[in-house]
Structure 1
Amino acid sequence: MFCSCFSSSILRISCPRPSIRSTTCASSTSTTTISASAPPCITFTVLIGSTQFRRIAHRYGNKLVTAWGAAGMAIYPLLLAFSENTWQFYGLSFIGGFLFAMINGAYINYMLEKIPPNDRPSHLAWYSIILNTAILTGSLIAPAIADMAGLVNALILIGILRILAGLSVHKWG
């Protein structure tokens, strides 16, 4: 959760486009173009991925799809760190949207499998508190870490942390 929020905060605030390796921000026109068109790419593929979720989760199980989705979400910041143009960014947005659909659906189902039916409201309330805390924390510290380590290094770090998160879900559930 934190890693996902962290990398999206880095992209929103630091945003050197179209060449992500540059150390200075690109013109406001190119930043606006990417900011305005990337969310529809992601949203569209989340929608398409959601239609395929039932088949994939039924075949592999919610735990495995959650683990693969979390580790797969590492693809987005790792490849984004080395992308050179806008089209690569759009392609990664499509991949990221599909993986987000898988992890979002599988994680909710996996949680509901593990939560005792008579105590679901309190468990889901704690889940909501922890999720929103992770989103807020990631959004607040992402720009500072990106400024200290550099955008590319921060994206690579987030990719590695996402892989570790996926492996830990797979191993310890």
Structure 2
Amino acid sequence: MQAIAPTPAQRALFRNLYWDVFWFGVLQGSAMAFLSVYAARLGASAFQIGLLTSGPAVVNLLASLPAGRWLEGRAMTTVSFQTAVLHRLGYLLLVPLPWLMPEAAQAWALPVLIGLMSLPGTVLAIAFNAMFADVVAPEWRAHVVGRRNALLAVSSTAASLSCGWLLDQLTFPLNYQVVFGLGALGAGLSTYYLYRVRAPGTLSPRVGRALLDFALPGGLPRIGDALRQGLGLRFLTRGGARPLLRPDLLRGPFGRVMVAYLTFYTFQYTSIPLMPLFWVNELRLSDGEISIGNALFYGAMLVASLGLRRLSARLGHHRVLVLGAAFFGGYPLLNALAQDATLYYVASILGGVVWGLAGGGLVNRLMERVPDDDRPAHMALHNLALNLGILAGSLLGPALSHGTDLRTALFVAAALRLVAALLLGRWG
């Protein structure tokens, strides 16, 4: 509990941030959650679905460091709003897509559109992370982030369940057009509340701690248990005169940390392009069943994240990270073992719990290994490792599926995640 009540200006700011994330949750639980499933129902290949994540990763690799430099000294509230408008217009363009081209062409148009959206999305992700740290005082961040994460879980869950019901009631592709329309509505209202966020007269002091905010405006479509975080993106705007990209850091202990993180991200995303195809073509899940899995994942993740601080205080950040990573292969493993929705639901619960621990553990452990006086360069290397991992994993998964069937490929992906856990235990 806070010892001092927030000022009227702070209360207004917090309300706007709460409404922003509530409507972002509607977007996340609708268009972002079902985009890859729509691609699978169009007949897209694993490679085409992989492009939904690998394309934005390439854009981020090329644009994130220049974007961080460009953002230095700019008004983050203004840039966040402007880039949110540009990025989220793409969700509106999804609605008429079935009227404009045949299904085979849509399977290619989707990754192209997502790739184009990711350019302003990359700037938005960095600017929002920096803006949040600027406008919310350090003593209120845990309070605001906790409420934002709870609202995100509630709105994402409600949106996912509602969209699953709608998708089962309406005919294809009208059902997905309605869902994309709901996503565009959520995106528009979230952007409106971003517009209402005003920077205080004096910006908050920079304390260099992880925000642990689950929402990532400008992020990737959510597929399976892949939830990308905006870890330390604000540090890309704080390089000053020093170079952001410093390969010399890789020659020390931090180099081994980055190898472990790169391996983790690569093997995390190996199974991601395969999941929608497995659900649709092998398990024959309905959209309603997929939505229940999404809801179980969000709920389990929230519950697990609530106990993260206590568990970290008891075990330490490294042990929590290794504990979460050790069970990270359970999600693709249980999916591979499934014959119907039952084990898929169990996998969703386990995946949410594990990501609630592993996601927070990745953040906290990384901040523990990075020196306070040199965070921009270290976080720039982490951002490169993250996007290289997403790119490599999104290409490795489809390659595995070409050499074998989807079920076997998921078993292999589960084993690879265990390898990543071992590396995190040794070098993380």
Q: What TM bracket, shorter-length normalisation?
A: 0.7 to 0.9
- Selected match of 1:74 from 329, 347, 363: 329
Closer, same or farther: CA 164–140 of 1 in aligned 2, 3 Å: closer
Shift of 1:134: 1.5
Select the structure with the greater relative contact order (CA < 8 A; seq sep ≥ 6). Answer: 1
Identity level (%): 29
Bigger mean CA offset, 33-42 vs 101-110: 33-42
Letter in 2 for 1:55: R
Structure 1 partner of 2:275: 11
Structure 1 partner of 2:381: 126
Structure 1 partner of 2:402: 147
Q: TM-score, normalised by structure 1?
A: 0.85
Q: Which sections of structure 1, spanning at least 5 residues, go unmatched?
A: 21-25
Matched, 1:114 2:369: yes
- Selected match of 2:393 from 135, 138, 150: 138
- Counterpart CA distance in 1 for 2:343 and 2:373 is 47
Residues 98-147 of structure 1, C-alpha deviation per residue, up to 9 Å, x if partnerless?
A: 10110111111111111111111111122122212222332234223223
Paired residues of 1:18 and 1:85 also in contact (CA < 8 A): no
Paired residues of 2:317 and 2:361 also in contact (CA < 8 A): yes
Paired residues of 1:19 and 1:85 also in contact (CA < 8 A): no
Matched, 1:100 2:394: no
Structure 2 partner of 1:158: 413
- Counterpart CA distance in 2 for 1:44 and 1:18 is 26
Residues 20-41 of structure 1, C-alpha deviation per residue, up to 9 Å, x if partnerless?
A: 4xxxxx3xxx343344332222
Paired residues of 1:66 and 1:107 also in contact (CA < 8 A): yes
- Counterpart CA distance in 1 for 2:337 and 2:366 is 34
Structure 2 partner of 1:23: none
Bigger mean CA offset, 43-52 vs 131-140: 131-140
Helix, strand or coil at the partner of 1:88: helix
Q: Which sections of structure 2, spanning at least 5 residues, go unmatched?
A: 1-264
Closer, same or farther: CA 35–8 of 1 in aligned 2, 3 Å: farther
- Counterpart CA distance in 2 for 1:39 and 1:140 is 24
Letter in 2 for 1:3: F
- Counterpart CA distance in 1 for 2:336 and 2:296 is 19
Residues 70-123 of structure 1, C-alpha deviation per residue, up to 9 Å, x if partnerless?
A: 121111112221111102101110111110110111111111111111111111
Runs of at least 4 residues of structure 1 off by over 6 A? none
Paired residue total: 164
Shift of 1:63: 0.8
Closer, same or farther: CA 128–34 of 1 in aligned 2, 3 Å: farther
Helix, strand or coil at the partner of 1:73: coil
Structure 2 partner of 1:2: 266
Shift of 1:59: 1.1
- Counterpart CA distance in 2 for 1:164 and 1:131 is 17
Structure 2 partner of 1:60: 315
- Counterpart CA distance in 1 for 2:266 and 2:304 is 22
Paired residues of 2:337 and 2:343 also in contact (CA < 8 A): no
- Counterpart CA distance in 2 for 1:39 and 1:122 is 35
Letter in 1 for 2:365: Y
What CA RMSD, in Å, does the superposition of the two structures yield over aligned residues?
1.9
Paired residues of 1:18 and 1:84 also in contact (CA < 8 A): no
Shift of 1:19: 5.2
Q: TM-score, normalised by structure 2?
A: 0.36
Letter in 2 for 1:100: W
Structure 2 partner of 1:87: 342
Closer, same or farther: CA 16–113 of 1 in aligned 2, 3 Å: closer
Task: Mark the structure with the bigger radius of gyration.
Answer: 2
Closer, same or farther: CA 18–45 of 1 in aligned 2, 3 Å: farther
